Amino acid sequence: MQIHSDKTEETLHNWIMEKNKKPDGRHKRREENRKKTLEMTLLIILETGTYPDIDTIAEKTGLSRRSIFHYFNNGNELLLAVSDLFTEQMIDRFNIPEADPVRSLEDTMLQYLEFRVRFNEVLTPLRQVIEERKRTHPELQDNIEIKRKRVLGRITELFSPFYPDEEEFENIKKMLFCNFSWNIWVLYRIEFRLSIEESRVLLEKQIRAILGFNR
């Protein structure tokens, strides 16, 4: 005995399909609102150099405080996500160089130097916010350590092919990491009050010495 007619089965199928679409729609809105929150928070930090409170973020995004806390458990979790978003955007924007067996050591150095100069300059307001908050929130320091390891990995990929002696390269890698770091860049720009170009020239001079161009 046929329990459902073809028409009934078609109606049931359509109802199930429609029901299954609803969570996808909510998920899409959730992701859109989460992204909006991250982008607005990052924009405020880069423009003002300060970490906005939740009320300010809610006002700027048009979302409620409750919605924001639905996406992020607390302010530090939001800041960590903002930091990750910034890194992704800057890598896409400034075209971080990839390892290339044909490219010379000097060209590799110049391309990575240009990337680090742009990255560190734009990073400064966000990094200052993180530096201020990490004193009382160790998870922010953990995030910095993760990013440092990524930078070390990138330096290894780019420069190790030019230095077959592992011991020699380990020393070079440590010095490159130190000089390419945000800490050195902010020292030039804020403590020494150098311009971007003056800082870049000084940094290039240091990197050339590390890589042996001045020998």
DSSP structure string for 104-162: -HHHHHHHHHHHHHHHHHHHHHHHHHHHHHTTT-HHHHHHHHHHHHHHHHHHHHHHGGG
Q: What is the mean pLDDT of residues 155-171?
A: 95
Q: What whole-number distance in Å separates Cα of residue 27 and Cα of residue 16? A: 18
Structure tokens at 106: 């000097």
> What does the DSSP 8-state code read for residue 214?
T
Residue 24 pLDDT more than 80?
Answer: no
pTM of the shown model: 0.79
Rounded to whole angstroms, how far apart are CA atoms 34 and 42? 12
**pLDDT higher than threshold 60 for residue 31:** yes
**Two structure tokens written together for 109:** 């150095």
Structural domain for 97, as ranges: 74-215
**What is residue 175's predicted lDDT score, i.e. its pLDDT?**
97
Rounded CA separation 44/56 (Å): 9
Of the three residues 9, 44, 72, the one that is the final residue of a domain is 72
| The pLDDT of residue 96 | 86
pLDDT bucket at 9, cuts 50 / 70 / 90: low
- Quick one: 123 and 23 in the same domain? no
Closest Cα partner for 204 from 123, 99, 106, 95? 106
Average of per-residue pLDDT across 145-164: 95
Residue 179's pLDDT is what? Answer: 97
CATH number reported for the structural domain that contains residue 196 in this entry: 1.10.357
Cβ proximity of 159 and 108 under 8 Å: yes
pLDDT at 160: 96
In the predicted model, is pLDDT for residue 77 greater than 50? yes
- Are 119 and 140 in the same domain? yes
pLDDT in tens, 32-56: 889 999 999 999 999 999 999 999 9
189 and 112 share one domain: yes
On whether both 151 and 187 belong to a single domain, the answer is: yes
